[in-house]
């Protein structure tokens, strides 16, 4: 049964509020996780002072960002200088809205999807929103009126436009197999098990696509080894050199929110979304487990997969050095793009068979 319109709006507002809160908290704690994990990889402790295990460090950081002096250098182009971090963070947060986190929930006969909105072309919407997000970085670089910032902004936009092609193509294989753009349909196509125990996830048939996606995703989120737009050794801090206080924090929020979105997409497209790798859902249902547990278990699996992806991100950051810029471009255009194309053609042939 579909919801009446006012209930629908109320449910959407509540869901948006919850999701925004969870996402921002997740962003803050991804920063904590990164500092902690990279610290341990480098034989340091990472944050330890604020709270147990430094767990309150994100809160302290947030307060510090809020109360620091917000400096606007006199030589910047002010309207765009202020708009750029807003663009970056708004579009980074928007793209999460079509991501489904679990099965539909039924409350008093009303079916409420476990996501803000389920649109037919959800995947395309995410790609579109992220492609608009490039402007935040590019405009920040340009409006700062600083050579290093400009170079950072140019690098970022060139890199993101180049890798967007590979990113899009790497996903087409999954789309062909699922036959739909809707993220919910794509996840549902991955339910079930091969021979009763190996989950029917796309990673097994689309591992080349997954490899392309992973590489392109690192480049799209400007993470090491592709963090050329903010390469400290060359560009001071790249596009956000001139930013301070909350505006600076906004770029970081955008970067980490993008990381989470990319991890969500990887989970949905290649790792079966909220489906458990063990198949205990059916067993629990048969043995009369409480409904709340059944509703929350998929969310747990989804979150667990995302945390694994975030850990992978941090692991790579702690391991690999930065590429050179020409290597980055050559890798994107001469290796990744042909590979994604070959994967697409192979998948199409296999499906048509």
Partner 1 sequence: MSVHLILFLAFGAVCVAGAVNLLAQTHPINSALSLIAVMAALAGEYLLLGAEFVAAVQVIVYAGAIMVLFVFTIMLLNAGVEERTKGSRVAVLFGIPGMLLGSILVGWVVLRHSGTEAVVAGALPGDPKIIGQLLFHEFLLPFEITSVLILIAIMGAVVLASKPATSPARKVE
Q: Are 104 and 274 in contact (CB under 8 A)?
A: no
Smallest distance from the beta carbon of 81 to partner 1, in angstroms?
12
Choices 139-147, 212-220, 245-253, 298-306 (CB under 8 A): range interacting with partner 1:
139-147
# binding residues, partner 1 (CB under 8 A): 27
Smallest distance from the beta carbon of 22 to partner 1, in angstroms?
26
Choices 161-169, 285-293, 304-312, 335-343 (CB under 8 A): range interacting with partner 1:
161-169
Q: Are 311 and 324 in contact (CB under 8 A)?
A: no
Smallest distance from the beta carbon of 236 to partner 1, in angstroms?
18
Spatial separation of the C-alpha atoms in residues 339 and 110, rounded to whole Å: 45
Spatial separation of the C-alpha atoms in residues 95 and 128, rounded to whole Å: 9
**Orientation angle between helical segments 245-270 and 5-41, nearest 10 degrees:** 100
Helix (H, G, I), strand (E, B) or coil at 105: strand
Whether omega before 225 lies within 30 degrees of 0, making that bond cis, reads yes
Spatial separation of the C-alpha atoms in residues 235 and 238, rounded to whole Å: 5
Q: Quick one: which of 32, 101, 114, 142 contacts partner 1 (CB under 8 A)?
A: 142
Q: Quick one: which of 50, 124, 203, 246 contacts partner 1 (CB under 8 A)?
A: 124
Burial zone of 206 (CB within 10 Å; 0-12 exposed, 13-18 middle, 19+ buried)? buried
Spatial separation of the C-alpha atoms in residues 145 and 75, rounded to whole Å: 7
Smallest distance from the beta carbon of 228 to partner 1, in angstroms?
15
Smaller CB separation from partner 1, 177 or 249: 177
Choices 101-109, 146-154, 219-227, 266-274 (CB under 8 A): range interacting with partner 1:
146-154
Instruction: Please report, for residues 107, 120, 150, 289, the alpha-carbon distance to residue 123 in angstroms, rounded to integers and kept in the order given.
Output: 27, 8, 31, 33
Q: Quick one: which of 80, 284, 294, 341 contacts partner 1 (CB under 8 A)?
A: 80
Smaller CB separation from partner 1, 181 or 193: 181
Smaller CB separation from partner 1, 11 or 154: 154
Interface with partner 1 includes 161 (CB under 8 A)?
yes
Structure tokens at 331: 């890798």
Q: Quick one: which of 128, 192, 291, 338 contacts partner 1 (CB under 8 A)?
A: 128
Interface with partner 1 includes 193 (CB under 8 A)?
no
Task: With CA atoms as reference, report the closest residue to 88 among 30, 149, 129.
Answer: 129
Smaller CB separation from partner 1, 146 or 281: 146
Spatial separation of the C-alpha atoms in residues 181 and 225, rounded to whole Å: 30
Interface with partner 1 includes 12 (CB under 8 A)?
no
The residue ranges that bind partner 1 (CB under 8 A) are 80, 119-121, 124-125, 127-129, 131-132, 134-135, 138-139, 141-142, 150, 153-154, 157-158, 160-161, 164, 168, 181
């Amino acid at each position: 049964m579909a919801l009446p319109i006012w209930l629908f709006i109320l449910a959407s507002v509540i869901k948006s509020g919850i999701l925004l809160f969870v996402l921002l908290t997740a962003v803050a704690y991804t920063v904590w996780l990164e500092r902690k994990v990279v610290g341990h990889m480098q034989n340091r402790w990472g944050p330890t002072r604020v709270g147990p295990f430094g767990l309150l460090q994100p809160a302290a950081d947030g307060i510090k960002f809020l109360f620091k002096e917000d400096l606007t250098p006199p030589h910047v182009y002010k309207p765009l200088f202020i708009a750029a971090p807003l663009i970056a963070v708004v579009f980074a947060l928007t793209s999460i809205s079509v991501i489904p986190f679990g099965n539909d929930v039924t409350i008093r006969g009303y079916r409420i999807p476990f996501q803000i909105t389920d649109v037919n072309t959800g995947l395309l919407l995410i790609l579109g929103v992220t492609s608009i997000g490039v402007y935040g970085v590019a405009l920040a670089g340009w409006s700062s009126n600083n050579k290093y910032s400009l170079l950072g902004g140019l690098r970022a936009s060139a890199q993101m436009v180049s890798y967007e092609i590979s990113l899009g193509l790497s996903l087409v294989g999954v789309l062909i197999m699922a036959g739909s753009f809707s993220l919910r349909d794509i996840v549902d196509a991955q339910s079930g098990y091969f021979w009763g125990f190996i989950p029917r996830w796309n990673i097994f048939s689309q591992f080349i696509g997954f490899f392309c996606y992973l590489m392109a995703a690192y480049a799209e989120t400007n993470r090491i080894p592709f963090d050329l737009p903010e390469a400290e050794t060359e560009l001071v801090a790249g596009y956000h050199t001139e930013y301070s206080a909350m505006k600076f924090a906004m770029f970081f929020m955008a970067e980490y929110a993008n990381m989470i979105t990319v991890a969500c997409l990887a989970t949905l497209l290649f790792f079966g979304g909220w489906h458990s790798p063990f198949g205990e859902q059916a067993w629990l249902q048969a043995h009369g487990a409480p409904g709340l547990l059944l509703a929350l278990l998929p969310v747990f699996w989804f979150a667990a997969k995302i945390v694994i992806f975030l850990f992978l991100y941090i692991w790579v950051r702690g391991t690999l050095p930065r590429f050179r810029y020409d290597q980055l471009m050559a890798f994107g255009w001469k290796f990744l793009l042909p590979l994604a194309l070959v994967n697409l053609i192979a998948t199409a042939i296999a499906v048509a068979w």
